[in-house]
């Protein structure tokens, strides 16, 4: 080994030295950040060593060092190492904590030492009762229907009363509904309005109510949007439009609140197993409402058999969803505690990939890509008739 090193010229030693210093600083910083996501740093350092040797072999000049330094800088950006703030019993309000992501977030943050205010739609329901049993006494249950102005004001009074001289550090707007998944032409207007009330107007009103507390603490506003809020997805016209409005609202507030020291982040999860898709009883009710509100012409063109298959799409959502919510939990924690949080997080399988395809490929390719995942086992009646005539 000594003989080998003695034969290596000074440039290689410089490259290797820079690698060790840069990599060592990154790894030391990572050890301080227990909330960060795992990144293959060892593999990254190994690749940088190989790159350093290649630079030495091919660019025996100062240019080699420049190339290698740029590679080190890119690696540091990839590692995304940031200083994480201490929990220190920071207070956080979470809406929609009855089930799903909000429920798991309440338990997760309570376990980490946060003072959690869990807003629930039913304070006597099973979700609220489970939080009381499994969480610490720091956690408070709040009756909070985000479409009810009176309950929002009462929640504000309750939070300020319990905090006394303390500050509210974070607000997580998580409550949301999916509604019925169907073509935008088929969805009744009350579905659009209900989605906007819960997924957009509700979070806006909650944010406006609690923002004075966040400005005082220079805290964090986190809105749980959706992958459907960033890219168009078939059958999610009402849901996607409401989540897109929430994402835009987040982006605007991120710019406007920066002067107050408040950080704003939007979370765009991909498919995760929650109860947001509803139950068969709810699907039957939504289907009846849809059939009662479409015109005879539209019903004839699509056919009732096609409309009945839409429930199958909802029932299949869990089959393509992940059961591990930890990517969402970790991203929310990063948005809460990172000194410089991201403005957008995309936890979950294929979330970022779909966004990249939408942004950087022709629209026809993106439409083809989405059609492979959203294909229906049945086609509308009018199109079937047209195909039959064409064959004949």
- Say which residue the tokens 């999610």 belong to: 236
Report the alpha-carbon distance of residue 72 to residue 152 in Å, rounded: 49
pLDDT above 90 covers what percent of the chain?
45
64 pLDDT more than 70: no
pLDDT, tens digit (0-9, with 9 covering 90-100), for 180-212: 888 889 999 999 999 999 999 999 999 999 999
Distances (CA, A) of 126 to 97, 119, 120, 279: 11, 14, 11, 16
Higher-pLDDT residue of 71 and 95 is: 95
Could you give the CA distance from residue 263 to residue 218 in angstroms, rounded to a whole number?
8
Q: What residue spans of the chain are helical by DSSP H? A: 2-6, 10-31, 41-58, 62-79, 100-112, 126-134, 149-163, 189-196, 202-217, 237-256, 280-293, 296-302, 304-308, 310-316, 326-337, 351-360, 363-373, 381-391
Provide the pLDDT for residue 123: 94
In angstroms, the CA 197 to CA 313 distance is 24
| 91-373 CATH pick, 3.40.50.720, 3.30.1330.60, 3.90.1210.10, 3.90.550.10 | 3.40.50.720
The pTM score is 0.78
Q: What pLDDT, on the 0 to 100 scale, is given for residue 57?
A: 59
Helix/strand/coil for 137: coil
Catalytic residue (choose from 239, 302, 306, 345): 239
Which is more confidently placed, 33 or 288? 288
The answer to whether 132 touches 108, Cβ cutoff 8 Å, is: no
HSE, side-chain direction, 13 A CA sphere, residue 6: 3
Do 368 and 360 contact (CB within 8 A), yes or no?
no
- Round to whole Å and give the CA distance between 85 and 35: 10
- Cα 23–Cα 28–Cα 30 angle in degrees, nearest 5: 95
Cα separation values, 113 from 33, 90, 102, 116, 143, Å: 16, 8, 17, 9, 22
The pLDDT of residue 75: 58
Is 15 annotated in the active site? Answer: no
pLDDT per position as a tens digit, 271-281: 766 666 566 67
Q: Where are the domains of the chain?
A: 2-79, 91-373
Is 62 a residue whose pLDDT tops 90? no
50-54, 100-104, 342-346, range with the lowest pLDDT? 50-54
**Bridge partners of residue 118, in order along the sequence:** 94, 141
- Distance CA(117)–CA(166), nearest Å, equals 14
């Amino acid at each position: 080994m000594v003989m080998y090193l003695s034969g290596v010229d000074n440039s290689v030693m410089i490259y290797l030295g820079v690698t060790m210093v840069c990599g060592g600083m990154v790894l030391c910083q990572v050890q301080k950040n227990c909330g960060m996501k795992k990144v293959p740093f060892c593999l990254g350092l190994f690749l940088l060593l190989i790159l350093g040797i290649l630079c030495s072999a091919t660019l025996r000049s100062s240019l080699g060092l420049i190339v290698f330094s740029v590679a080190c800088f890119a690696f540091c950006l990839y590692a995304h190492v940031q200083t994480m703030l201490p929990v220190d019993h920071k207070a956080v309000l979470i809406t929609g904590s009855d089930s799903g992501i909000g429920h798991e977030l309440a338990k997760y943050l309570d376990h980490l030492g946060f003072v959690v205010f869990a807003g629930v739609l039913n304070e006597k329901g099973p979700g609220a009762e489970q939080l009381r049993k499994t969480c610490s006494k720091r956690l408070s249950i709040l009756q909070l229907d985000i479409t009810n102005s009176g309950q929002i004001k009462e929640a504000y009074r309750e939070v300020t009363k319990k905090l006394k001289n303390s500050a509210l550090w974070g607000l997580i707007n998580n409550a949301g509904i999916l509604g019925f998944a169907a073509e935008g032409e088929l969805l009744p207007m009350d579905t659009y309005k209900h989605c906007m009330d819960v997924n957009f107007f509700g979070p806006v009103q909650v944010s406006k109510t609690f923002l004075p507390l966040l400005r005082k603490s220079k805290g964090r506003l986190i809105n749980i949007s959706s992958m459907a809020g960033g890219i168009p997805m078939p059958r999610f016209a009402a849901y996607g439009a409401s989540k897109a409005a929430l994402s835009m609202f987040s982006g605007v507030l991120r710019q406007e609140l920066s002067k107050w020291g408040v950080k704003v982040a939007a979370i765009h999860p991909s498919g995760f197993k929650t109860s947001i898709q509803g139950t068969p009883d709810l699907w039957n009710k939504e289907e009846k409402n849809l059939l009662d509100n479409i015109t005879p012409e539209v019903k004839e063109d699509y056919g009732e058999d096609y409309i009945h298959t839409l429930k199958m799409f909802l029932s299949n959502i869990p089959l393509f969803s992940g059961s591990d919510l930890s990517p969402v939990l970790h991203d929310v924690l990063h948005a809460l505690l990172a000194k410089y949080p991201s403005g957008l997080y995309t936890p979950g399988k294929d979330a970022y990939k779909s966004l990249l395809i939408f942004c950087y490929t022709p629209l026809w390719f993106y439409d083809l890509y989405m059609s492979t995942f959203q294909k229906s086992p049945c086609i509308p009646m009018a199109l079937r008739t047209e195909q039959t005539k064409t064959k004949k």
